[in-house]
Amino acid sequence: MKFALFGNTYQTKKSAHIATLLETLHAYGAELYIDREFYIFLPEELTRKYPPHGIFEGGDFDADMVISMGGDGTFLKSAMRVGNRNIPILGINTGRLGFLADISPEEIKETFHEICNGHYQVEDRSVLHLHNDGLPARGYPYALNEIAVLKRDSSSMISIHTHINGALLTTYQADGLVISTPTGSTAYSLSVGGPIMVPHADTIAITPVAPHSLNIRPIVVRDDWEITLEVESRSHNFLVAIDGRSESYQEGIRLTITKADYCIKVVKRYNHIFFKTLREKMMWGGSLIEI
């Protein structure tokens, strides 16, 4: 198999995990191509011992599978680089929580034994697409996790006029609004009180950030519906964060969010069940500590 490797350049000190990965791929005779940004941070003794078949930059790569080595943030960056190319992504977690990157370093050898023997599954994850009222796209307008509209340069709340398929939902008076996929429901959306959605749900969650009214609650809608946002702000500008990549926008721009015409393919081991991952990551059912 042919693999393309992306990694977190701030975690190369965890070279033991990287060594295990390179050694394992070498043992299976796999072709390995490494993102240049990650390659230059790898320990020199590792690249001498296990030289890659090639180094690539940007989107100039081809592979049967992409390996993302880091946390969920690294996985999101890898997904951005893969885009609509239908290359499945495997996430090895050397970060913290790890919902997307859910393979632990201790599972590397066993996981690649399964992969090289064709024993794995691929899940399709929906993606959001941001349209900027006819303006040219700023950067990469697709989100695997969420699109967030947030206040900027002011302590005052912003007003977000929200329409679903052209019909008024409400005007949110809040610090912001998070539009989340099921994949992103355990990320930023969860931290501001959004619902957890199973990855295969055909839904989108709309969750306000610090709303002015306690009556305002998150709402879940179908993912084939169109969401339109118009923002008013005392500072006349606001932020739009797409999977954490933020841009400043001027008041008066209409934002439209739809489901993208492609999915991100996520590699999963057969024994990695979402509900099991949820229990472990959220520590549900853990015993209370007696004081």
Of 60, 62, 64, 72, the active-site residue reads 72
Q: Is 72 a catalytic residue?
A: yes
One-character DSSP codes across the chain? -EEEEEE-TT-TT-HHHHHHHHHHHHHTT-EEEEEHHHHTTS-HHHHHHS--SEEE-TT----SEEEEEESHHHHHHHHHHHTTS---EEEEE-SSS-SSS-B-GGGHHHHHHHHHTT--EEEEE--EEEE-TTSPP-S--EESSEEEEEE-S-SS-EEEEEEETTEEEEEEEESEEEEE-TGGGGTHHHHTTPPP--TT--EEEEEEES-S-TT---EEEETTS-EEEEEE-TTSEEEEEETTEEEEEETT-EEEEEE-SS-EEEEE-TT--HHHHHHHHHTTTPPPPP-
Query: Which residues carry out catalysis?
Result: 72
